[in-house]
Amino acid sequence: MRGLCVNTCTDSAPIAAARSIAVSIPPEEETCAPICTAAYATRMAVRVRIAPSPTGLLHIGTARTALFNWLFARHEGGEFRLRIENTDTSREVAEAVDQIQDSLRWLGLDWDGPHTFQLDRMEDCRQVAERLLADGKAYEDEGAIRFRMPDEGVTAWDDIVRGRIEYPNEKLEDVVIVRSDGRPTYNFASPMEDVWDGITHVIRGDDHIPNTPKQLNIIRAVGAEIPVYAHVPMIFGMDGNKLSKRHGAQAVEEFRTAGYLPETMLNFLALLGWAPDGETTLMSRDELVERFSLERVSPSPSQFDYQKLDWMNGVYLRALPSAEFAHRLLLWLGENGFDWDAERVTRAAPLVQEKIARLDEFPGFAGFFFRDVDPSEADLDGGAPMLTAAEEALIALEPFDAPAIEAALRAAADRLELKPRQAFQPIRVAVTGSKVSPGLFESIELLGRETTLSRLRVAGSSAA
RNA sequence: GGCGCAUUCGUCUAGUGGCCUAGGACACCGCCCUCUCACGGCGGCGGCACGGGUUCGAAUCCCGUAUGCGCCUCCA
């Protein structure tokens, strides 16, 4: 029994319509006039938000929550807003706001309207707190202001992803809504902003479930309309613990640096806790928007599988038109401090497109096109005769292209009575400096006769 | 400790009482292709946490147990 429209999820209307189903059954007196008279009454469409705190880079879990919000908004034709929750000034990091926006933009999660800061509503929050105080719904406590929670009954709501959740009111403690220094706390500012911004659906991590009954009561106390809640599961590392440094990348920026494509991240993240059916795994941004629904979000947490991410990124990399692949490669190299010849990168790109899963593999895999190599003697072991033969075969070869190079080298191998793999491996090591490389003949063509011959010669003498 | 949430192959998941001999994908293993790697093709391994119910019939409904996680800040 989860979701608001079980069995009726064939279209999206019920989601947007099913609002204000949160219930509270406290034996309290009738509330007086609404304190908040924001113009949300006329809102029809869906409006959601992502509310990161500016304490550092955008975490992948926050990005996933942002994605669900964005997908929902775009699917419903509604709005997606960005709100920075910076009430805790002590933990704020100066560049974080810009970094968060960069990450969001890189992922293509565009937000509507300007981003807002929680701190800018400090004064509004204080006024509401004063009003609450005057109405006896809050009280002072050592300089701070606490909100009076109901003592009896239960506070409950129908969560779109987990069904009905109930909290006995006696368990709810009176939360501090304004600190002694006058700044509002998260549990006060956040729901108030949701009210002022006309947020219709609060889609957030399930670590906020225990906060929800408190926020619900605050919203009720100010006489505002309750939004619909959807608590999405968290993401853990492969060991079942919170995603942390030792698992690898955890911030969106780090995945970008590792050479993942934004379309990969979107697709992969969407599938963490959501699936359109049992078969589909590859979906474009548009398809994601078209098929996404909160009803199909799973309530159980998932683990972040880096291997699957790599596989998926490889799929996206290979699917790129080759010119686009080269373009992305160039962009990535530029962002990561590789000042390599663009024309040569563009020519090398097709040789690696099918072979790498992440852009950051390029320097290691194709670096021999751009810098000298230093093959180890052990890898060259016993290859001297073939190296000499290769040199002779290529020295006057015309044309110097992959098909001709392959023919010449195969002929040389035949003369030495070597199997292809035995013959070509020393050449590969000599020319690329590694036992693993892009296609040998294409690589030699791109490298050019001069460089190839000189590398063959150097390796030939050290292997002898 | 209290409260809450969760529990299908190693991982992501499909599944809403009979279509399930539990389907797909990643990973893994084997074979094929092959100049290495990768791609691709074929095949394989592997799961309903446990115990009680309800029912002609349960992965699906109910109860309990276990385990994991989250929150209990004048953090967000």
A10 has a pLDDT exceeding 90: no
Q: Which residue is nearest to nucleotide B34 (CA to C1')?
A: A421
Is A404 in contact with A448 (CB distance < 8 Å)? Answer: no
Average pLDDT score over residue span A277-295: 96
Q: CA-to-CA distance for A53 and A73, rounded, in angstroms? A: 21
Which stretch of DSSP H or E encloses residue A117? strand A116-117
**Does the CB of A247 fall within 7 Å of any strand B atom?**
no
Q: CA-to-CA distance for A266 and A282, rounded, in angstroms? A: 10
Per-residue pLDDT at A19: 34
Instruction: Tell me the Cα Rg of chain A.
Output: 30
The gap between A290 CA and B13 C1' (Å) is 19
Single out the residue of A264, A306, A259 nearest to residue A285, CA to CA: A264
The gap between A268 CA and B12 C1' (Å) is 9
What is residue A429's three-state secondary structure? Answer: helix
**Does the CB of A316 fall within 7 Å of any strand B atom?**
no
Nucleotide showing the shortest C1' distance to residue A205 CA:
B70
The gap between A268 CA and B26 C1' (Å) is 11
| Number of Cβ within a 10 Å radius of residue A95 | 11
Q: How much of chain A, in percent, has pLDDT values that exceed 90?
A: 80
For residue A245, indicate whether it is catalytic: yes
Which bases on strand B have an atom closer than 7 Å to a protein beta carbon? 2-8, 10-16, 23-27, 34-40, 62, 68-76
Looking at this protein, which amino acid is placed at residue A271? L
Higher pLDDT, A177 or A243: A177
**Does the CB of A43 fall within 7 Å of any strand B atom?**
no
Q: CA-to-CA distance for A283 and A307, rounded, in angstroms? A: 18
Residues contacting A269, CB < 8 A, separation 6+: A60, A63, A64, A67
pLDDT in tens, A425-445: 999 999 999 999 999 999 999
Is A33 in contact with A223 (CB distance < 8 Å)? Answer: yes
Per-residue pLDDT at A246: 67
Q: At what angle do helices A449-463 and A440-447 cross, to 10 degrees?
A: 120
A227: cis peptide before it, omega within 30°? no
Nucleotide showing the shortest C1' distance to residue A424 CA:
B35
**Beta-bridge partners for A156:** A23, A166
Q: Confidence class of residue A44 from pLDDT cuts 50, 70 and 90?
A: low
The gap between A120 CA and B50 C1' (Å) is 53
Min mean pLDDT across A20-34, A53-67, A101-115, A293-307 is at A20-34
CA A310 to chain centre: 14
The gap between A172 CA and B3 C1' (Å) is 10
**Does the CB of A425 fall within 7 Å of any strand B atom?**
yes
Residue positions counted in chain A: 464
Give me the interface pTM, i.e. the ipTM.
Answer: 0.95
Looking at this protein, which amino acid is placed at residue A75? H
**Does the CB of A298 fall within 7 Å of any strand B atom?**
yes
Is A83 in contact with A50 (CB distance < 8 Å)? Answer: yes
pLDDT in tens, A196-216: 999 999 999 999 999 999 999
Q: Confidence class of residue A397 from pLDDT cuts 50, 70 and 90?
A: very high
A158 has a pLDDT exceeding 50: yes
Which residue is it, tokens 């290979």?
A318
Looking at this protein, which amino acid is placed at residue A33? A
**Does the CB of A91 fall within 7 Å of any strand B atom?**
yes
Q: What is the pTM of this model?
A: 0.90
Looking at this protein, which amino acid is placed at residue A368? F
What is residue A371's three-state secondary structure? Answer: coil
